[in-house]
Structures are given as C-alpha cells and as structure tokens.
Amino acid sequence: NGSMHFDKEGRLINADGYRVQGFRTDEDGKVTSKLGDISVDRTVIDAKRTHKVDLFMNLDLRADQALQFNAENPEMTSHYATGVTVYDSAGTAHVVTLFFNKVDNGKWVWRAMAKGEDVVDGKKDTLVEQANGTLTFDTDGKLMEQTVDKSEFNFSKGALPNQNITFHFGDDKSKGGTGIQVTQYGTGSEIYKALQDGYTAGTLAGLSFSDDGMLTAIYTNGQNINLAQAAIGKFENPEGLFKVGQNRYRESRLSGQPTLGAPQTGGRGSISSKTIESSTTDIANEFINLITAQRNFQANSRVISVADDMMHEVLNIKRQ
C-alpha cells in the first residue's frame, strides 16, 4: 500500500521499512536539488530578531500641522499612533509605538518609541525614541518618498545591542513604486495591517504534506518551515517495470531509467496525504458473485439431500 510513517530516527519510511527519498531544503526552507532521506531534523527553531516591519495604512490629509510633538507626552501631541510587536535577539516580544505628525503639506514625521523598561538605560513608565524618519506624499495622496533618519534599538535583558529595524511603508514613487501601501487621503488615519519577520523560539507541533509533496513542519511559535519535497521517478514505459514483491518494482531494460522530479511536474502526479488507498475490488460485482455462489451451494445441498433419501429407500427395500 502507499502508507508512510516516521521511524524513531525521524525518517519517513513506507510500509516495508524503506526510506522515502526527496529533495532537501536549505535553512530558509527553499527546495534544493540535493536528494536524500526525507526526515524531520528541526524539532526546535531558534528565535529570530525583527529586521523589517511592513506597514499598510492611511494618514489623514486633514490633520492640523500646527500640532507640535512633545516626547514627554507623545500620545497627546501626535496626529496618529499605532503599536507593533517586534522581537529582540533573545526572542522576547516588545511593543513599539509609532507616532505620526504632519509637519507640512504632504509631509509627515514618524517616530518609533519603546517602553523605557524595555531598553538599556530607560526609565519605567516612559517612552524612549529608537527610530525616526519622514514620509512625503504627492498631491494625489500617494507616497512619493520615505526616509529613515535613525533606527537603533537597544533592548535590555541580554538582547544584542544596536538592533536595526527597517520600517517599510511600501514602494514609493521615487523608486518606481505605486506609492499606495501607505497613503494620505482625506479620511481618518488608520492602519490596515503590520507585518514583521521576527519570532520567538518554537518547538515542533505538527507536520503536513501538500499535494506537491512538500513536507512542512508547524511550530508552536506560528512558523511553518518546509523540510523536504518528495521525489517521484517517471519511467518512459511503466509497464516494463520488474516486480520484486508486494508493491515494489525496479527498473528494467524495458522500462528505462527513471527521471526524478517533484510531484505535479512533468506528468508525475500528486501526493495525497491523510487519505486511504482506494480498493481495486468491484464491490457490486463481487456481491453478485457471492449471491450466485450461495444459490449454487443451496442447489447442491438439495441434490445431496435427495440422493441421501433415495439411498435410505434402497436400503429399506433390501431389508424387506
């Protein structure tokens, strides 16, 4: 059958104990051309510090640029504020608050501030600026240019110093982009979503197989990492394969040599996970055969019974 499971060494094997081969992935989960045993060798993944934050939002065109920012009271002296979660090198999560102030027509200044107790030499119940920059919009409300004037986070409690986090507001028009990831329209300031690339450490929570044969590890920190992709051999003449027992075959002169590739490529089919192999038996036809055999058995039983009665009659006549 086509069932597979993992042995105690974490290797994927079939029902007969043979190791399943596949294309391994690199540290980033990208499939390589290296062929080997499919195995689970990443039961734990280390924490990753945040390098980049992508923001999708709108800033209100109608904001009064006369408002002056005060670092001692940022909540009351900014036009808009939003929080994003980032991770330091130890995998500790920190909420960083972004404050936005309109300083001129089409120009905004943003500041990223962390809690004082989260950074080196910071004071409790205060916010400390760790990064800042500017956003410039055209008359259509699209982002024309963005700058980062400073980005240096010094989180405390053992984290590596001088963590640079890039706050990305989309591809601005000055670099050939559309400038619509962050806009300045005449509607209320609002953040739609914020994406960042850091995470805490995680342990293996589950595994999944996709139709294209990709084995993916699922971790407790929400990360999914591709471990390997199953390899399928394609023969020019599958009918020429030599059967060696059970559902195992090997190449022969008639079948030709296999060409290895990924599922769903070159006519190689797909992988069906968490499914039961369909039976090749025609249930309806076999049921008819069963009824026929039953009828034949009943008819034969009657013949034997009649013959037995006749034998008794003959014996009785002889005795008389």
CB count within 10 Å of CB 174 equals 13
Cα separation, 104 vs 142, whole angstroms: 15
Contacts of 96 by beta carbon, 8 Å cutoff, 6+ apart: 83, 84, 85, 86, 112, 113, 114, 130, 153, 165
**Model confidence pLDDT, tens digit, residues 272-281:** 876 766 655 6
Among 183, 182, 185, 160, smallest CA distance to 169 is for: 182
Q: What local confidence, expressed as pLDDT, does residue 293 receive?
A: 82
Q: Which of 96-105, 286-295, 298-307 has the lowest mean pLDDT?
A: 298-307
Q: What local confidence, expressed as pLDDT, does residue 280 receive?
A: 58
Q: What local confidence, expressed as pLDDT, does residue 315 receive?
A: 67
Please say whether the structural domain 52-196 has been given the CATH code 3.40.190.290.
Answer: no
Spans of all domains in the chain: 4-45+203-261, 52-196, 283-320
Contacts of 43 by beta carbon, 8 Å cutoff, 6+ apart: 10, 203, 204
**Model confidence pLDDT, tens digit, residues 158-196:** 999 999 999 999 999 999 999 999 999 999 999 999 999
Please determine, for residue 113, whether its predicted confidence score (pLDDT) is greater than 90.
Answer: yes
Cα separation, 315 vs 320, whole angstroms: 9
Q: Taking a C-beta distance cutoff of 8 angstroms, is the pair 21, 36 a contact? A: yes
Please determine, for residue 292, whether its predicted confidence score (pLDDT) is greater than 80.
Answer: yes
Q: Which of 136-140, 159-163, 304-308 has the lowest mean pLDDT?
A: 304-308
Q: What local confidence, expressed as pLDDT, does residue 4 receive?
A: 83
Cα separation, 163 vs 188, whole angstroms: 32
Rounded to two decimals, the pTM is 0.74
Cα separation, 230 vs 262, whole angstroms: 6
**Model confidence pLDDT, tens digit, residues 29-63:** 899 999 999 999 889 999 999 999 999 999 999 99
Strand partners of residue 216: 208, 226
**Model confidence pLDDT, tens digit, residues 220-266:** 999 999 999 999 999 999 999 998 877 788 899 999 999 999 999 98
